[in-house]
Chain A
Amino acid sequence: MSEIIETKDLQKQYQMGDVTVEALKGIDFTVREGEFVAIMGPSGSGKSTLLHLLGGLDLASGGEVFLANRRLTRLGDTEVTVMRRRHVGFVFQFFNLLPTLTVTENVALPLLLDGQSMKENATRVAEILELVNMGNRAVHTPDQLSGGEQQRVAIARALVTNPKILLADEPTGNLDSASGEHLLRILRRACDDAGQTIVIVTHNPTAAAFADRVVFLQDGALVHEILGGPFDVPAITAAIARMNV
């Protein structure tokens, strides 16, 4: 399998008042096509920052990000936007659905932003809603859904363009364990059945256990990784304990 995500000496610094915070200190990291990777680490270790830089949501202070063989750090905003729209799906911890749109419309959002019509994508949207078991809530608005349902809609939105890469930031962080597990199974299936590359950031060993590989970040640096997933949860917990992260 070829590498679909690659970072070289990736750095990110923030200015917080007079203090410069080094969120990422030169990360070299690769993800192969069709791989499911979980990024773990304590709060403030730089996991979410890394994910945001991989998806072009934030600008790096130094180093390079290659996404599907394109050097992200050299692309203009419009090119990054189009790339994100067509090739990357995002899932956030807080669902981030648009309150005025129905479930169907929220799912179709990336397609609509791409100038496509609802009509021509009706079948695709219906399929993806069935995939996440939300076909019966298609005309509801987000305020009529539970947290788990909203997150499933968010996953459907991320998958609707059939993106090569799906990035998820604490996708189970706001869900109960049953909803969280259901969601992770959907992600695993997307990886196994559709060959999509999944990168998730999580604190949750149960979530990380679904991944093929778990990488650990501490103080802005990659400190460890374990291979050969899916894992048992105790294996993840043990790795965390060993590293004291």
Chain B
Amino acid sequence: MRSIAHLALRELRRSWVRNLYAALAIGVGIATIIASDLISRGITEEIADSAEGQAITAFMSEQLDVGLTAIGLVITVGAGFLIFNAFAMSTTQRREDFGRMRAVGMTRHQLLLMVLFEAILTGIAGTAFGLATGIGLGRGLMFIVTTTSDVFNRFGEVSLSPDRLLFAAAVGLATTVIAALLPAMRASQTPPVAAMKAASSTGRSPNRYRIAGGCTVLIVAMWIVLIIDPPGRWILPPWSSYLTIALIALWLLCLGLSLPAIVGLTGACLRRPLSAILHLPGRLAADNLRRARGRVTFTLLTLIIGVAMIVGITGFLGFWFEELFFRTSERSLKESPGMGFFPLEIDAGLQAYEDVVDFTLPDDLIDEVEAAAEGRAAVVPAYFVLAPELSFMGEFYFSFVLGPQSMQQAGELFFTFTYGDWAHALEITDKGCGLFLTPTVAQKNDAWLYDTIAIQTHLGHLDCTIAGIGPTFVGASIISDAGLSAFELSAPVMLSIFPFESEGSAGVLAEFAAIADRYPGIWFADLTVVYEMQLEAMGTVRTMMSGMLFLAILSATLGVINTALISVSERRREYGVLRATGASRRQVSTIVIVEGLLFGLIGAGVGILVGAGVVVIYIVITGGSAFGYPDFPVWEVALGSIQPALARGIIALAASPLLIALAAWLPTRATVQGSVIETIGRRETPL
């Protein structure tokens, strides 16, 4: 065992560059997982002491944690592909060495252990790097956000949770071992005779065009159906979710299976034009794309994942926050403008929460406002609660407790009926607890209009009837004022005022502002300002996500550099032959640069296709029906949502090829810099 470990360590030392890149790629993913924990808990720390505070911030924290951790996990999975690729290439390169070891008596089991040991050591190094840098990454990102954002301008002091530390370490190590298992198993199958003969390389992969053809037919059929009759216009949850999952899976599967064919086809199609422009180097670059397509596919996958994540997440956030979340709010606030009283200065961002213990408004203020508003404005006291049954996403999305009459007076801001009407709803809320929900939340409880849902509170359970289904303010469920006693709510967190149209709103505004002035710590603002602040907060979330997504691209780039290094090392002899037959250094470099450019273009192009496709499928199928918008213009919204995503994708499309070409050119330049015989004659040096 000790000798196996010794051999593995020597191999690691010999090929330290390759292993360093693989470890860094894993490290980036682990760092993201660690940073996401720090950032998300930093938001709630010292804020969520009270029930109201928890209701306000828990969702934000949970969603950020889920979102950023998901990014970290995807980066780690991407790194897993890279490790698989690196070990697959390395074990192919070392086939003769393995044969020699087998010839002198190494068993298959020992060979497997040796390669796995190398992988485990790489994984440990990467994971340790990720754990160490994750804390710095999290704190660095929080620092950048606090100094640039007006909303997320304060994070609580948090230390790393041991659970997350263990989780990240386990993910890092497990990914490495799983990724290296197949190459290690293949290495262990090496016969001793491999020492005598090099692995044959045909340079061409099996024909995959038939699979790609079948996939193309399926994909085209799917898009035709989605264009002709978008399900988003008629389908309801949970069927929309099932169909979305099925079609996204079909889209990803088909693109994944077609990838080798896409690479081959690109090479074949570009052979002639590249030959015309760049002569032989162009032609060889196009040909090289079609070689070792398995490896090319795996390397491309990491790049595709990175770019698809950027495009997909940008598209999803655009859809949720710009098209769906505030769809009624914007229109409603224009039709019936409102103002709000808050127990803290919301425009001070998270800093406002510092030292605030009581998140409710004082009774005197409420009395005074209600008296002043009598006959001149609708007053809507709003309470925030956490009811997992009513959370539309996860378990920590808040719900409102609102008076139905005041809601009705407020116009469409809080709720609009898609199913039901006020007459029946008020009958229900007069008798007991009524709920105003989006279709998603109703379906989550396997219920529909006028059905009853049991909501758990710390006092017991509360039976509530669904009084209306339709779009709600920011997707939060609404419990009628019967929830006040069930949740032991004594005072509201927010008081919204909607002047009646007949009255001059300017005079009313001045009067309420004067009331607010008399209460220190109370903040009074136009609800449009609050709405805009929410949009800004979402923008900051998007920036944070983008910061993490940058790491996905970084991780993918590390992998591509690694693959480029190994490829150049593998093809050293070939470059030497070219030089011996009369190719100049420039011509050899041109082959590698063009190959890198094509590689980057395919990776970024397919990445954009994957990301944008997933977003469009989701929007076209889910539409607005999940939120209660039956007449949702699905295609218009889908195309609108992916526009900013495509802009980012195009940046990736421009940057990736250049980055990869540079990554491939540097080792090639070093390789061809010496004499021809040095290039051709030297045995492939392990990296």
Contacts and interface: CB of A to CB of B under 8 A. Distances in A.
A50 B282 CA distance: 34
B105 interface: no
A141 B584 contact: no
A84 B291 contact: no
Given A100-B290, A101-B287, A81 B577 contact: no
B279 interface: yes
A104 to B, nearest CB: 13
Interface in B584-622: 584-585, 587
Interface residues of A, number: 31
A208 to B, nearest CB: 23
A96 B203 contact: no
Contacts of A58: 675-678
B574 A98 contact: yes
Given A52-B677, A58-B675, A99 B582 contact: no
A86 B582 CA distance: 8
Contacts of B200: 143
Nearest to B679: A57
B580 interface: yes
Contact of A98 (B290, B577, B677, B678): B577
Contact of A96 (B284, B287, B680): B680
B581 interface: yes
B9 interface: no
A141 B677 contact: no
Contacts, number: 88
Contacts of A114: 582
Interface string A60-85: 00000000000000000110011011
A55 B680 CA distance: 14
A112 B680 contact: no
B295 interface: no
B599 to A, nearest CB: 16
B290 A96 contact: no
A59 interface: yes
Contacts of B573: 96
Contacts of B587: 113
Given A85-B581, A141-B202, A141-B204, A100 B675 contact: no
B578 interface: yes
- Between A77, A78, A141, A142, the greatest number of chain B beta carbons within 10 A of the residue's beta carbon is seen for A77
Contacts of B675: 57-59
B201 interface: yes
Contacts of B18: none
A110 B573 CA distance: 17
A113 B203 contact: no
- Between A85, A115, A142, the greatest number of chain B beta carbons within 10 A of the residue's beta carbon is seen for A85
Interface string B387-416: 000000000000000000000000000000
Contacts of B287: 100-101
Interface residues of B, number: 31
B582 A82 contact: yes
A78 B290 CA distance: 30
A152 interface: no
B280 interface: yes
B584 A78 contact: yes
Contact of A84 (B202, B204, B279, B582): B582
A24 B498 CA distance: 98
- Between A55, A98, A141, the greatest number of chain B beta carbons within 10 A of the residue's beta carbon is seen for A98
A57 B680 contact: yes
Contact of A99 (B202, B279, B280): B202
A187 B675 CA distance: 27
Given A100-B291, A101-B287, A113 B583 contact: yes
A112 B587 CA distance: 11
A109 B581 contact: yes
Interface in A95-151: 96-101, 109-110, 112-115, 141-143
- Between B279, B287, B677, the greatest number of chain A beta carbons within 10 A of the residue's beta carbon is seen for B677
B288 A100 contact: yes
Nearest to A55: B580
B579 interface: yes
Contacts of B283: 112
A90 interface: yes
B252 to A, nearest CB: 30
Contacts of A109: 280, 578, 581-582
A217 B603 CA distance: 54
B19 to A, nearest CB: 24
B581 A90 contact: yes
Interface in B630-655: none
A114 B204 CA distance: 26
Q: Which 5 A-B pairs have the closest CB atoms?
A: A85-B582, A99-B203, A100-B287, A112-B280, A57-B676
Interface of A: 52, 55-59, 77-78, 81-82, 84-86, 90, 92, 96-101, 109-110, 112-115, 141-143, 157
16 contacts: A52-B677, A57-B680, A82-B582, A84-B580, A96-B573, A96-B576, A96-B680, A98-B578, A99-B201, A99-B202, A100-B287, A100-B291, A109-B280, A112-B279, A115-B279, A143-B204
Given A57-B580, A99-B201, 6 more contacts: A82-B584, A96-B680, A99-B291, A109-B280, A113-B280, A143-B204
